[in-house]
A and B are shown apart, each in its own frame.
Chain A
Amino acid sequence: MTMLGDRQQLAYIAAQAADARVNVELETEGMTLNIGPQHPATHGTLRIIARLDGEQVVWAEPSAGYMHRGYEKLTEVRTYPQVTALVNRIDWLGSFANEVPFILAAEKLMGVEAPARAQHIRTILFELSRIANVSLFLGDLGVQLGAVTPVFFAFRDREYVLNLIEAATGGRFHPNFDRIGGLKDDLPAGFIDETRMVMKKLRTFCDQIEDLLFGNEIFQSRTRGIGVIPKDVALQYGLSGANLRASGVDWDLRRDQDLPMAWNKADWKVWSHPDGDSFARCWVRLQEVRESTKIVDQLLDTIPAGPVMAKVPKIIKVPEGEAWVSTENPLGEMGYYVVSQGDQGPFRVKIRSASFNNISIVPWVLKGVYVPDIITILASLYFILGDIDR
């Protein structure tokens, strides 16, 4: 205190007095609620700090970073083909989908295009990882809202899809199958028939989930009108995927973007919902799984013949330049901004993952909700920790 000048000293005393008065006047005390880092609703280790006034949240802040692996730094010491092994682990439930935009960006810089057959198989595997990813979401959603049955269905039926991915790529979770210029291998024998059968099962699964969950009165009353995100807010925060479409934005990068993939060769529909609440987000995802099974079914009929790998040099050197490619991944828009300086490895890779933006809206959307709705909203926003922290 002796260090302070007179005016500062006066200001300090005044501040102290003001604090003391506030403390006397306060009758109730807020409470801080910690959710996580180890909570089933967090799909990993996200911690949410919520300040409550009674049952209502007045302030909430997610605290990520428990799983930051520094992929952006690591890519700078890897060669291009090595990067796919890293980015595989960003959204670990739909791994193959993570590899595709990176490979497409590298191909764009090199001026290589994968053969038609490879593009077709890529799209099939991409949609299979979406089905594996989102079907787990549909089951998990039930558990978080107190319905135990759906999750068993989800794990059972996801296993069929994982088996298909394993048969084609050799890895259940981390295929590392996509290569610059095509794919590592062709599809195994019997894959097409097996996939058709599994797609039928998955459609039954969707019907079951719709009966069990979406038609359930408790589920509806817990999700309808909860966590409403209007269109313009969703766009500002960069929400993508089903979260954005559930806010009434009919925008799907698979349909509205010109990429060397085979989505435009199938007939399917982009679903959106005008409500913007938790129910809408879940419902849009359910429809997405159905559409994905349709896409896979149609693409299986039309796989073109030919090689699965273009002619590329053994040592891949990518010419100087910058490229941005993003795709509509299971969680939303996933993109890579790749800067090359003509080396064997990238100079800088910015990984734009969907969950990072999707979860940055949490402080906004949790303001004023009741405690049990926190779980509903987090579950319906659907994020994967690896996809936030990267």
Chain B
Amino acid sequence: VFPLSSTDTATEAPRDERRDGEMARITAALGAAVLDSLVKSNDDMWIRVSADAWRTTGETLKSLGYTYFCFLSGIDWLPSPFGKGEDDPTEPTPERDSTIKQGYTGGATRFQVIARVMQPFTSLGVNIKVDIDDSLAIDSWCSVYAGANWHERETHEMFGIGFNGHPDLRNMYLPSDFEGFPLRKDFPLLARIVKPWPGIVDVEPLPGDDEEEGEAS
């Protein structure tokens, strides 16, 4: 039998010395720029830095051996006003909670940029988050990691987040006169609005509650 491990045992797991040590190095090097940090044993590392220190964070991490640029993207923490796009168009739109709830290492803004860099060979990586305030812009990482160029273009196109100092923020996928930012939560998934999701008409009652464990199939 392979039972579900309960989530509270995870916190009692022994500390991950390798990652704890790395995190101590990173926070020491970055100083006050780190607003919050998190190490999950045998999993991953997260830090959240202040927006002013975004570029220097990249430079510091690079000098600490995080030379491999993995990805950069954005997160919109607003819960989608359209839910899962499964609303019945004949019914009035249901009320939805619009409380913004950020994930690991918290945050104060609706938009966050997340990047990940890694140390080659050791395969240790760190996820760096930064809050994006209402100016919706942040320094570009292009001069630090050349590979950030395309990722920033994509993030600009999909979330409308600007990158100061980026050489060329043209659209990659969409026509240049496209309006709206598709990966924002308040951008509707048009396919679901033009034609209602067929799943809504043939929902059968599923056996058992959510709590009840089904048979392994």
Contacts and interface: CB of A to CB of B under 8 A. Distances in A.
Range, interface on chain B: 35 or more
A64 interface: yes
Contacts of B104: 321-322
Given A113-B2, A352-B70, A73 B183 contact: yes
A136 interface: no
Interface string A76-118: 1100000000000000000000000000000010111111000
Given A237-B146, A315-B210, A350-B73, A309 B7 contact: no
A312 B216 contact: yes
A233 B146 contact: yes
Contacts of B123: 251, 253, 256-257
B32 interface: no
B24 interface: no
Interface stretch (B49-57, B88-96, B114-122, B131-139): B114-122
A168 to B, nearest CB: 17
B109 interface: no
Interface in B93-126: 101, 103-104, 114, 116, 120-123, 125
A287 B189 CA distance: 44
B70 A333 contact: yes
- Which one of B1, B46, B146, B208 has the highest number of Cβ atoms from chain A below 10 Å of its Cβ? B146
B147 interface: yes
Given A65-B173, A236-B146, A324-B127, A258 B42 contact: yes
Interface string A366-390: 0000000000000000000000010
A119 to B, nearest CB: 11
A322 B182 CA distance: 22
Main secondary structure of the interface of B (DSSP, over half): loop
A260 B68 CA distance: 24
B195 interface: no
A337 B114 contact: yes
B57 to A, nearest CB: 16
B44 interface: yes
A313 B214 contact: yes
Given A324-B125, A350-B73, A317 B146 contact: no
A235 B213 contact: no
A236 B145 contact: yes
B150 to A, nearest CB: 4
A360 interface: yes
Contacts of B151: 356
A310 B216 contact: yes
A310 B213 CA distance: 12
Contacts of B194: none
Interface in A310-358: 310-315, 317, 319-324, 326, 333, 335, 337, 339, 341, 345, 348, 350, 352, 356-357
Interface string B200-217: 000000111010111111
A192 B71 CA distance: 38
A222 to B, nearest CB: 27
Interface in B161-186: 171-174, 182-183, 185
A313 B73 CA distance: 32
B85 interface: yes
B210 A74 contact: no
B103 A339 contact: yes
A314 B207 contact: yes
Nearest to B197: A77
A364 interface: yes
A348 to B, nearest CB: 5
B116 to A, nearest CB: 7
B68 A238 contact: yes
A307 interface: yes
A232 B127 CA distance: 21
B69 A238 contact: yes
Given A111-B6, A233-B146, A314 B69 contact: no
Nearest to A251: B120
- Most chain B beta-carbon neighbours within 10 Å: one of A182, A235, A250, A307: A235
A227 interface: no
Given A115-B2, A251-B120, A321-B103, A311 B213 contact: yes
A235 B68 contact: yes
A339 B46 CA distance: 13
B152 to A, nearest CB: 11
A181 interface: yes
Contacts of A65: 171-174
B42 A350 contact: no
21 contacts: A65-B172, A72-B183, A74-B189, A76-B189, A77-B86, A108-B43, A238-B68, A238-B145, A253-B123, A256-B122, A256-B123, A307-B216, A311-B4, A313-B213, A314-B208, A324-B125, A324-B127, A326-B70, A333-B70, A337-B114, A337-B116
Given A236-B146, A360-B147, 10 more contacts: A65-B174, A111-B7, A250-B121, A312-B213, A319-B7, A324-B127, A326-B70, A337-B71, A357-B71, A389-B173
Interface of A: 64-65, 68, 70, 72-74, 76-77, 108, 110-115, 181-182, 232-233, 235-238, 249-251, 253, 256-258, 307, 309-315, 317, 319-324, 326, 333, 335, 337, 339, 341, 345, 348, 350, 352, 356-357, 360-361, 364, 389
Q: Which 7 A-B pairs have the closest CB atoms?
A: A314-B214, A65-B173, A237-B147, A310-B2, A68-B173, A238-B147, A360-B150
